[in-house]
Amino acid sequence: MTQEQDRHQQRQQKIKEKVDERVAQATEEKGLLLVITGNGKGKTTSGFGTVARAVGHGLQCGVAQFIKGTWDNGERNLLEKLGVAFHVMSTGFTWNTQDKQADTIAAQAVWQECLKMLQDPNLDVVLLDELTYMVSYNYIELDEVLNALQQRPAQQSVIITGRGAHRSIIELADTVSEVRNVKHAFEAGVKARKGVDW
């Protein structure tokens, strides 16, 4: 072994020891609250990536989507076939038509389904896609959201996506990632693409 290889091996060994030490310290087992926020693309796809990961392990998952899709939903087409329950806002809130009363009714209907999911000990992973906007627009009470999250079954994980996550939700969360927009094809005039954007 050359001196260079030897030094490399020693460095790697030190890193491994540190990682092992930290892995040994992480002993708590509980469901996690994840928040994926920020202005860049990748929040909803990250949430669904986690749901797919869980389904792949045979875990039970549920999804609520708070923005009315104007087009076909690829994830729903796939995951419903695999037994994932979807609760999608059917009328009301879209970016185009903001009618506060209709939006509140539509948001509340989906939220009632969320409350059921957040009380269901058989659900391992729950995705609340675009929930952040419902809180920002006061369609759903922040305190109700915080209470439901705090009182959920201890082993249930929840993923919340959407821009501008309220700071109380961020505080409550275990893991928070902010997706930063570096650039997006749409800004260069490229159309949203099936299979990539929805």
Annotated active-site positions, please?
39, 41, 43-45, 53, 93, 95, 130
Q: How far is the CB of 75 from ligand ATP (least distance, A)?
A: 9
Q: Cα–Cα distance between 146 and 159 in angstroms, integer? A: 13
Residues with Cβ within 8 Å of residue 194, at least 6 apart in sequence: 71, 72, 74
Which parts of 97-156 interact with ligand ATP (CB under 6 A)? 130
Query: Is position 76 an interface residue for ligand ATP (rule: CB under 6 A)?
Result: no
The amino acid present at 80, given as its one-letter code, is E
Structure tokens at 153: 């079954």
Check residue 43 for interaction with ligand ATP (CB under 6 A): yes
164 binds ligand ATP (CB under 6 A): no
Binding range to ligand ATP, per CB under 6 A, among 33-41, 82-90, 101-109, 165-173 = 33-41
Strands 61-65 and 125-129: parallel
Stretch that binds ligand ATP, among 34-42, 55-63, 81-89, 102-110 (CB under 6 A): 34-42
End-to-end CA distance of the chain: 52
